[in-house]
Amino acid sequence: MHETNKEWLPGFDKKFAELTHQMVKDLEKCLQCGKCTGQCPAAKLSSYNPREIIRDLRMGNVEKVISSHELWLCFFCSGCYAVCPRDINFPFAISMLRYAALAQGYGWEEVKKIKDPYAQDYYNTGLSVNINERNLGIKKEIAKNSKTDGRIETVRKKMGLPPKRLVSERAMSEIKFIADATGMTDLFKEINKKKAKEKQWNYGSPADLVKVKKGPNQKFIDVEEEEKEKIS
Amino acid sequence: MPRQEVLEKTKISDRMFLFQPCVGSNKYPGLITASIEFFRKLGIELVTSDDQTCCGGFLTFTNVAQPTSTMPAVARNLAVAEEMGLDILTLCNGCHTFLTEFSHFMNDRPPVKNVVNVILSMIGREYKGSQDIYHSLEIIYKLKERIREKVTRPLNGMKFATHYGCHYLNGFKKTALDDPHMPTIMEELIEAMGGEIAEYGENRTCCGTGLTQIIINKEDLSLPHTKMKLDDLNAAEPDAVVVVCPYCLAQIDRMQQKLNYRGSGKYRVPVIHLVQLIGLALGVDTVKLGFDAHAISFRHFLKKFDSMHAKAEVHSG
């Protein structure tokens, strides 16, 4: 499944710049010093290794990187860029490689997780964070601390603000127009129904350094349920 | 770039456009009210607009919308401020990154800017790229002496840990105000207001949000990372953690509750945004600082803060 070096090496820099919308330059200048991996939060806890990924890209194993499980572990903290002696903006490369992975059919299940709460809220309300607190535990804490019902609307009213931040109708129609005209809306629909290809490659098993007790999970409440609660 | 050069480039005007962050509106409303109130005390009027939405760049870097879709969305937000003739002040590392990166991208490539403007012309707007985009730290640091003079409730006797977040310093290592590895600007600001610093080793590590990791790998990556940071933070025993990004605020604040609930430790460090802290020191009404919306209670923090002031009055009286 791996390409041969010959396919990529001549004119690698140009091809890669194209693949990353010209947002990442100088990847071919990587020294393989490994400073990026040394400071990487994801590398600390998993098999993610930026140096190894750059090496694979440089060797022409683009398909391997794109189909890998590790492509979806980056934190986007830009720490690798901060320490890089060659100033390679690797998080941007990861972001663009993820688009390449989507084009090949990988990773659609990951973007669906992001699209459902955040992008849909952006499309519906103009803000990518919902005002309704879905975690009941947090809501209880806020209720206790603020001596209210724990809803952000109530807290905002207490502070002398309107219950919700106002986004004008003009702004809403404008962002919807941009979303429709540029294909954002279509992509959302595609994310909803697209079946992801199974990822092909694992660089290794997670190191599992810090253990967090799993479960019991907190109760989550649907916004709709909450509305019903309010009505009754 | 040396700090002095960045400071010289930072222009402070009497009116600035406050770019409202989504988390700051819908989860922690205190960030916006606190900054409007204390900037007024410093003689700067912050203007907001209902036409401003989420920055939009967020969607591209989480791979749910192509850059071609979010570029006009970002340009639209920039145009809203540009029409008012104002420079932008951001409270969120994310907003700052996306607005700055996209505006540079468009300004450096006239053909891209032209295409974006074709789309914007259909909604009656135009992006020229004439304004400056500032992170709140740049403006606040430049106003350090003015803040020092205006402090009415000094932070004496309180210990603060700092958390800079990733995107401002790491992502802009060549143009940011401070060094990404050993930043000191927030410490200097806290000391200017009379506070003490609690040093801890994991200062420069990510809060754990990791842009997408909080959603796609919450249990395996995000939560353990936050736990690691919090354990180190607890050992330094600060009265509060000071952050400059609403996402870091949400992560460190909310995940403490989650870890407590699961029995993975005892965490109760209040998390405060720098603008709320300055608001507190400059005497902004505590209700307007919005501590009510935080998951970790500020009761002990405010009690200690008040008792320190009571002591100070006894000594001086």
Confidence of residue A223 (pLDDT cuts 50, 70, 90): very low
Same domain, yes or no, for A65 and A152? Answer: no
Helix, strand, coil fractions of chain B, as percent rounded to 5 = 55, 10, 35
- Among A39, A74, A103, the domain-final residue is A103
Interface list for B 71-110 with A (CB within 8 A): 72-73, 76, 105
Could you tell me if residue A206 is inside a domain?
no
Instruction: Compute the distance between CA of residue B206 and CA of residue B167 in angstroms, rounded to an integer.
Output: 9
ipTM summary value: 0.91
Same domain, yes or no, for A112 and A176? Answer: yes
Instruction: Compute the distance between CA of residue B206 and CA of residue A40 in angstroms, rounded to an integer.
Output: 9
Whether the per-residue pLDDT at A231 is higher than 50: the answer is: no
Query: pLDDT of B51-61, one tens digit each?
Result: 999 998 889 88
DSSP E strands in chain B: the ranges are 15-19, 45-47, 88-90, 133-135, 159-163, 196-197, 240-243, 271-273
B264/A212 Cβ within 8 A: yes
Phi/psi of residue B158, nearest 5 degrees = -105, 140
Its CATH class, for the domain covering B11-136, is mainly alpha
Same domain, yes or no, for A19 and A74? Answer: yes
Could you tell me if residue A133 is inside a domain?
yes
Average of pLDDT values for B190-215? 92
Query: pLDDT of A43-86, one tens digit each?
Result: 888 888 999 998 888 877 888 888 998 899 999 999 999 999 99
Confidence of residue B316 (pLDDT cuts 50, 70, 90): low
Same domain, yes or no, for A136 and A95? Answer: no
What CATH number should be reported for the domain holding residue A84? 1.10.1060.10
Residue A69: closest C-alpha in chain B: B217
pLDDT of res. B317 = 55
For residue A45, list chain B residues with Cβ-Cβ distance below 8 A: 220-221, 224-225
For residue A137, list chain B residues with Cβ-Cβ distance below 8 A: 257-258, 261
Could you tell me if residue A116 is inside a domain?
yes
Contact status of B48 with chain A (Cβ, < 8 Å): no
Query: pLDDT of B102-139, one tens digit each?
Result: 999 999 999 999 999 999 999 999 999 999 999 999 99
Question: Please, what's the b/e burial string for B1-15 (b: 16 or more CB within 10 A of its CB; e: otherwise)?
Answer: eeeeebeeebebeee
pLDDT of res. B6 = 92
Same domain, yes or no, for A75 and A126? Answer: no
Residue B49 has a CB neighbour count (10 Å cut-off) of: 20
Average of pLDDT values for B16-41? 95
Structure-block tokens of residue B99: 């607005």
Same domain, yes or no, for A166 and A143? Answer: yes
Q: Report the topology of domain B150-316.
A: Rossmann fold (3.40.50)
Confidence of residue A221 (pLDDT cuts 50, 70, 90): very low
> What is the pLDDT of chain B when averaged over all its residues?
93
Could you tell me if residue A177 is inside a domain?
yes
Same domain, yes or no, for A29 and A85? Answer: yes
Output the furthest CA–CA distance in chain A (Å, rounded): 68
Structure-block tokens of residue A194: 């697209």
Whether the per-residue pLDDT at A148 is higher than 80: the answer is: yes
Residue A175: closest C-alpha in chain B: B73
Could you tell me if residue A164 is inside a domain?
yes
pLDDT of res. B314 = 76
More confident residue, A7 or A221: A7
Average of pLDDT values for B213-236? 89
pLDDT of res. B189 = 96
Q: Which of A159, A177, A188 should one mutate to test binding to chain B, selecting the residue with the greatest count of B CBs within 10 A?
A: A159
For residue A44, list chain B residues with Cβ-Cβ distance below 8 A: 225
Confidence of residue A232 (pLDDT cuts 50, 70, 90): very low
Q: Which of B20, B48, B49, B59 should one mutate to test binding to chain A, selecting the residue with the greatest count of A CBs within 10 A?
A: B59
Interface list for B 168-207 with A (CB within 8 A): 169-171, 173-174, 180-181, 204-206
Number of structural domains chain A divides into: 2
A161/B26 Cβ within 8 A: no
Could you tell me if residue A55 is inside a domain?
yes
pLDDT of res. A20 = 65
Contact status of B224 with chain A (Cβ, < 8 Å): yes
Query: pLDDT of A160-214, one tens digit each?
Result: 999 999 999 999 999 999 999 999 999 999 999 999 888 888 887 654 444 555 5
Whether the per-residue pLDDT at B299 is higher than 60: the answer is: yes
pLDDT of res. B211 = 87
Same domain, yes or no, for A35 and A15? Answer: yes
For A182, the domain range is: 108-197
Q: How far does CA B134 lie from the centroid of its chain?
A: 11
> B146, B141, B133, B143: which is closest to B107 by C-alpha?
B133
Same domain, yes or no, for A150 and A186? Answer: yes
Could you tell me if residue A40 is inside a domain?
yes
Asked whether the beta carbons of A191 and A112 are under 8 A apart, the reply is: yes
> What is the pLDDT of chain A when averaged over all its residues?
82
Give the residue extent of every domain in chain B. 11-136, 150-316
Query: pLDDT of B70-99, one tens digit each?
Result: 999 999 999 999 999 999 999 999 999 999
pLDDT of res. B206 = 92
